[in-house]
Structure 1
């Protein structure tokens, strides 16, 4: 079955979201403080499409494709097919029609100029590669794959030995190292300017060197925040850290800093796991609390 593809236009930019799968069932572990009772206290959120009727949280594993100027940018590449993930048996050895969906909508993988991974967790790098003839090959063979050098170095050299690292070594072997061996990796600073209005923002916390991407074109600006937030409830509650954050203190600081910068501006904001319509503006209410106003740009 073909996957859901959501198309949006933001000024002159075209955005597509390829939805790999829902992740609603994981939020009780991701954000245990976001109980239905607490969500009902957030008036703008409880009536939104980001929650279910029982006030549990909605979310997606998805990949963003942004066409801006002459660039075709892919941001975060989901879990991927046939990946071996020791700690995540339900996500191991997936057989989803992801590539078939791209073919069906007429999207040429060779047209991708840039792939940006906000961090190197397994659900953000999976479709960097696909398996053919027993080998892992780059899915976007003509693209530069941008990795924050600090992020890559941490996972490659520093990460402590534990069960999650064992899983993540497999992730590197399956989804990152094949790109490096193919000569497609571009290791960048966390505040790098990639040209054509594409730049990076350092937003550490969820991982040691997590980054977000900011895209500007024709008077429009939006930020794709990776896993800086896992759900819009963290806009209302920036101090709600995700259970697996590398540094909860840093993740809280990153949210507070970015929301302070973009609140009450025209900058649009989203994160990888936000349900569609995924883009919106951050506003500060009369109580000094942040609210999120979703805007539907879908075609």
Structure 2
């Protein structure tokens, strides 16, 4: 499917308080309307229309899904942390919505208080092109780490899976420009993530959510009795709260992806935990509440400054 170029988002820096920690959303692009039917083909307009609560933020009146590309940044335990790195600029990508972007993402990141050289930890929920793109930037004709002082972290299972995968050319190119330069610089750390999760920084834990990819993780943040969870691609869109069986066309193991999604939703439903969707359109964050036998999202507006 041909997906036209996305558009630049607005300039404000939305943020949410999680105890003493402020989580900032760093916007990259608004994804084009064709993304939804391609990515979540079972989320048809009729299915979307059944959920009034999706409108107007997460879908329009015609049942077209709103999807977004952004990352999250916060400071915890003295560490400046970035979760996922988006699509990146100037990358050759098969998806035209991601191809050869020219966004002001790094300026947004710096204006939020996270200039690249200040970042201590980059967490990669998984190794897909729209989550690793700003791992690197071009300098003197070469791809070099964007965050030269950071420890980049991903699941060992994730990296080892792709190491043994027979990659098509587009994916091979993505690894060449966005993953391997970080490895060659000695900055990529592989973490074993057991079923109970793995603590990788003060109050930050990787939660295994396999299926979309074999080593996919969500990111849990806690502070002063408050909890937030960054979904990665375990959940792409809030419609999956109402229909956890709806998966992405690019899920490696659709059944496992659904099982991970159901487990995660069940653990968070009707609690004070804040869920931050990696592709959720603004308002992006909310709490999961039981609704008609499954769930819906109760949005939590961001502070914008």
Supply the distance in 1 between the matched residues of 2:272 and 2:122 (Cα, whole angstroms). Answer: 26
Of the structure 1 ranges 139-148 and 24-33, higher mean CA displacement relative to structure 2 is found in: 24-33
1:164-198: CA deviations, max 9, x gaps? x3211111111111111111111101222113100
Supply the distance in 2 between the matched residues of 1:103 and 1:44 (Cα, whole angstroms). Answer: 34
Counterpart of 1:125?
132
1:36 matched to 2:36? The reply is: no
Counterpart of 1:243?
249
2:212 counterpart (199, 206, 216): 206
Supply the distance in 1 between the matched residues of 2:258 and 2:210 (Cα, whole angstroms). Answer: 9
- Point out where structure 1 has 5 or more consecutive residues left out of the alignment: none
CA-CA distance at 1:214 after TM superposition: 0.3
TM-score, scaled relative to structure 1:
0.92
User: Structure 2 matches for 1:73-88, cutoff 5 A?
Assistant: 73-85=81-93, 87-88=94-95
- Point out where structure 2 has 5 or more consecutive residues left out of the alignment: 1-7
CA contact (8 A) 2:49 2:62 kept: no
CA contact (8 A) 2:9 2:29 kept: no
Supply the distance in 1 between the matched residues of 2:204 and 2:42 (Cα, whole angstroms). Answer: 34
Equivalent pairs, count: 292
1:231 matched to 2:227? The reply is: no
Counterpart of 1:189?
192
Counterpart of 2:295?
290
Supply the distance in 2 between the matched residues of 1:103 and 1:3 (Cα, whole angstroms). Answer: 16
1:193-223: CA deviations, max 9, x gaps? 1131000111011112111110001221010
1:26 matched to 2:28? The reply is: no
TM-score, scaled relative to structure 2:
0.90
Counterpart of 2:62?
54
Supply the distance in 1 between the matched residues of 2:106 and 2:201 (Cα, whole angstroms). Answer: 28
What's the C-alpha RMSD, in Å, of the aligned pairs? Answer: 1.8
CA contact (8 A) 1:3 1:97 kept: no
CA contact (8 A) 1:118 1:210 kept: yes
